[in-house]
Amino acid sequence: MSLRAAVLRHIRLPVQTLPAIGSRPQSQLSFLRLFSSHDDHLTKEEVIDRVLDVVKSFPKVEPSQVTPDVHFQKDLGLDSLDNVEIVMALEEEFKLEIPDKEADKIDSCNLAIEYIYNHPMAG
């Protein structure tokens, strides 16, 4: 018994005081479950993170060069057909249906983030 207590005392981790929950409002919001889908839109940061992830996982792109205001054809050196593929990947990621004319105009990360953030049905 005392051996068990000695072993436990040996491996017991020191307790750290956690920071106050109200000090980081962003994490507090992430605990909120919104049961109605009426006004839960994506936050801008979520949109930016997911868009950048999609662009970075494109095989012809160097992940280190991707920033939120990168232009697909000028900065990343992609083709116009690659542009089409990226827009399709974004459509799949956010479960959107972008009309052809609009999809043609999405040329850079900026435009993509703006469009997706302002879309009411971005999932």
Partner 1 sequence: MNGATTAAYLARRAAQKERVRILYRRALKDTLNWAVHRHLFYQDASDLREKFEANKHVEDLDTIDKMIAAGEATYDKWRHPDPYIVPWAPGGSKFTRNPVPPSGIEIVNKGLEDP
1 membership: H or E segment, kind and range? none
Q: Smaller CB distance to partner 1: residue 55 or 94?
A: 94
Q: Using only C-alpha atoms, what is the Rg of the chain?
A: 22
> DSSP of 45-88, one letter per residue?
HHHHHHHHHHHHTSTTS-GGG--TT-BTTTTS---HHHHHHHHH
Distance (Å, rounded) from C-alpha 112 to C-alpha 86? 10
Contact with partner 1 (CB under 8 A) among 86, 87, 112, 116:
87
* Least distance CB 102 / partner 1 (angstroms): 11
Residue among 40, 49, 79, 104 flagged as catalytic: 79
Q: Smaller CB distance to partner 1: residue 87 or 109?
A: 87
Active site residue 79: yes
Site string for partner 1, 44-83 (x = CB under 8 A): ------------------------------------xx-x
